Amino acid sequence: MTGSITDVEFVMRNIAENIVANETYFGELDAVVGDGDFGYSLARGFEIALEQWDSFDRSDPGVFLTKIAAAVSARIGGTSGPIWGTAMLRAGVQLKEHPQIEGADVVRALRASVEGIKARGQADLGDKTLLDALVPAIDTLEAESAAGHGAAEIVRAMAVTARAAAENTKTMQAMRGRASYTGERSIGSVDAGAMAIAVLLEALAEAWSKR
Contact 159, 93 (CB under 8 A): no
Q: How many domains, the chain?
A: 1
Residue type, 142: E
Report the b/e string of 106-127 with b at 16+ CB within 10 A: bbbbbbbbbebbbebbebeeeb
38 pLDDT above the threshold of 70: yes
Q: What is the value of pTM for the model shown?
A: 0.93
CATH code where residue 77 lies: 1.25.40.340
Give me the pLDDT at residue 136, please.
Answer: 98
Highest mean pLDDT among 68-72, 73-77, 195-199: 195-199
pLDDT at 7 over 80: yes
Q: How confident is the model at residue 150 (pLDDT cuts 50, 70, 90)?
A: very high
For 15-48, b/e burial (b = at least 16 CB within 10 A) is bbebbbebbeebbebbebbbebbbbbbbbbbbbb
Residue-number span of the structural domain to which 67 is assigned:
2-209
Residue-level pLDDT at 81: 75
Burial 182-204 (b: 16+ CB within 10 A, else e): eeeebeebbbbbbbbbbbbbbbb
pLDDT band at 186 (very low <50, low <70, confident <90, very high): low
* Mean pLDDT (whole number) for 54-81: 89
pLDDT tens per residue, range 106-137: 999 999 999 999 998 888 999 899 999 999 99
pLDDT given at position 3: 84
